Structure 1
Amino acid sequence: MIWLYALIGLLVGFALAYLFLRTRQMRNQLSEIATLQGQIREREELIEGLRETHLADARTLATREEQIKQLEGRIEEQARQFEASKEDLAREFQLLANKILEDNSKKFTAQNKEGIDAVLTPLREKIKEFESKVEQNHRNETEDRAKLKIELENLLKLNQRLSEDAQNLATALKGENKTQGNWGEMILQKILESSGLQRGIEYLTQASYSDHEGRRVQPDVVIKLPEEKHIIIDSKVSLTAYERMVNAGNEEERSQFLQAHIQSVKSHIKGLAEKSYEAIEGLSTPDFVLLFMPIESSFAMAIANDQDLYNYAWERKVVIVTPSTLLATLRTISSVWKQENQHRNVLEIARLAGTLYDKFVSFSQDMDQIENRLNQASSAYQSARNKLIDGRGNMVQTALKTKELGVKSKKEFGDQWLPQEQDDQESLNSAE
């Protein structure tokens, strides 16, 4: 009987030990489940942050597209106004030319035809030159509108391609700071080439300048603006810590590399601010420079985890831009340059129109002088003729009387110089 009790006690002990171990194992599993759930929540929050960043970028892109559409509408309206102004000027020039020619055509004679041609030929050439400039401006506007439409269609594709290229090259470039810098400048150059700006005219790359202390400085890009203004762009690439953060094996490493990535961006901001590009002699720039980050996701990760990053940069007179925001900014500057060039063309046309009008006025004044000189010549001719032939006691009549009195001569006056009475008398004598 004792052995039976001992057996039962042994079984009860085993059962209690099993329950104790099982309970302890379940507590460990519950702890691991709680840890995994926390990690899942963190991943979901990260995904949600990235989704919000993507939506914000999409809204920004939509806003830029709307701004570009509005700009295109203004360009078309200016083109219509320019076309209407061109037609009005052409009508006014035609009416003015017709009026001048109509007022003076009756006064032209065969003797002054060559002189008139000499006056009209330069005027005709100026009119042709004016018409050529107007037609060329119209063709340029038509071509610009067609190019703008094509570039708008390619804007999204270009932005996506730049982002994909940047992401694909990130792994190959990690750890090579010099290679990263060269690659960032290459991406910046591709954006500049796609912006519509003209290299060497509307922007300069790697240009050398001197600051107020005589030190040589060389910004990556200097964007020229109308009225002799400039914007400076420097490319900065932060990939090493970012790549390590993406590939981190645990949350602790990820947090560590994320802070290192943010610190790298801040270091670039601080270094760019210390260059004091706004103090360069010969450049008229705003109080800030543009820091170009070629990888959208790298910037999005930094700003999502340090919302004060924008203020940190702005306090140091630095504005951060990415491929999408920089391309939209440069396209806007390109449109501003096109409007500026159109404005200059309009001013040139107005100058030519003023010159043409002045020549018309000078031409009409010359015609008045020609008329006065012709009237003076006609008056002088009539006065001389009266003294010679028509007037009382004229020279021809006096000379004929001396001949009648016996003065001998070998020559005779032509019929056109004889007085009318003398001419009629000689005709009667011939008839007899």
Structure 2
Amino acid sequence: MVWLDKFKLNKGLSRTLTEAGYLNPKEIQLKTLSRIIGGQDVIAVAPEGSGKTTTYIIGILNRITRGYDDAPRVLILVPDKERVEAVMQQFDQLKRNDTIQIVGLYVTPGIEAQMNALADGADIVVATPDRARAIYLKLGLNLNKIDVLIVDDAEDMVKQGLQLPVAELANSITKSQHLVFTEVLHAKLHKMIDPFMKMPAIVEAEELEAIPLNTHQQLLYNVPNFRTKLNLLNLFMQDDELFTKTVVFVNTRVTAETVQKSLKHRMRESVVTINPLSYESKSVQDVAEFKQDDTLKVLIIANENADELDLSGIPFLIHLDVPEEKELFINRIVNNGDDDDTLAITFSTDIELALVKKIEQASGKKMPLAALPDELVIDTDKKEKEAPAEKPAAKSKKTEPVAGEAFHEKKAANSKTYNYSSGTKAKMNNKRKH
């Protein structure tokens, strides 16, 4: 059997994989399974549909051969309820040992049923970070015996703002193997996972279409935020001789109005929008009208006006926002002519890089990453701007109590620096002991 020969999986699991239709390992499995089985921390970067979830399920089922331990051994964190159910369904498809108990935790009315399920016994917990953290703080989730912590769809965790519960759960586990699966790897994701990863192996797998589409030349600019996108666009538009005609794509008409106001300070009446949000904004009916008027330099189009467009002959196509629908993006950059002088430029934040990867996978082409110009002003977040230059000096510790102060130092007995056993937790929550 292929799986048995390549990875030394147990015979029962190898047979189950073959019967389930997994005849040959995918690229991500060839690159990561041996490391996972060997106990190494791994960051696996691969596109949607490449087999990331199957990879860690195989690794777990190869490790856990029997169930009914007194506490969970594996904690899998996923972004939402749908992913919890999908992962559990895939476990059911591949596991043949009915003694292995899997419990799903996600936000739903009432928390008692999920705590009861944990008290009855769980070997593998698949959970959203916020619900797992809530049950942990209620002493219903025992993390003392977690051997493997898995963060799946990690880029979506960052996108949904779940970094804090992920970090708190990871820090509450004393010792375990850490596996992170993501479509993209960027600075915000590193900030979430770096504190608990231990010298991880970073493994990347690309699954582009075998026959790439014929597209315009492309460039990708990775910027930190929307304000920096506007700065970069304004910087480009200063070169009137190069950027003679430019179409700028954004996701909404609200954004289109913001972009038009930003460019209008310098370009005045040479910036127009199709179907603008405000009647005060200068507009055109279609792309043909923009092409025919030599006084117009920039046309802004919102995805809300995503009719079929004739973009031929326009030298620059700039996606200020990356659309959710990859087909919409690809239709704009496909080169239908032999003579191609059009350059398609994409501005992307870290959060949008996952959409860029989907576009690359579908088009069969990587977007070359361009260096940001030295003259570009990198805008900081509003919170950073308003932050004081220096922190106020910390209050000196007082050796004597002061009248009127409404706080006191926490007693050592009240500090939570421990985990209860699952049996104790069940008793404390008036649950039946398992």
Higher helix content, 1 or 2: 1
Alignment TM class, shorter chain as reference: under 0.3
Greater relative CO, 1 or 2 (CA 8 Å, sep 6+): 2
Length-normalised TM-score, structure 2: 0.21
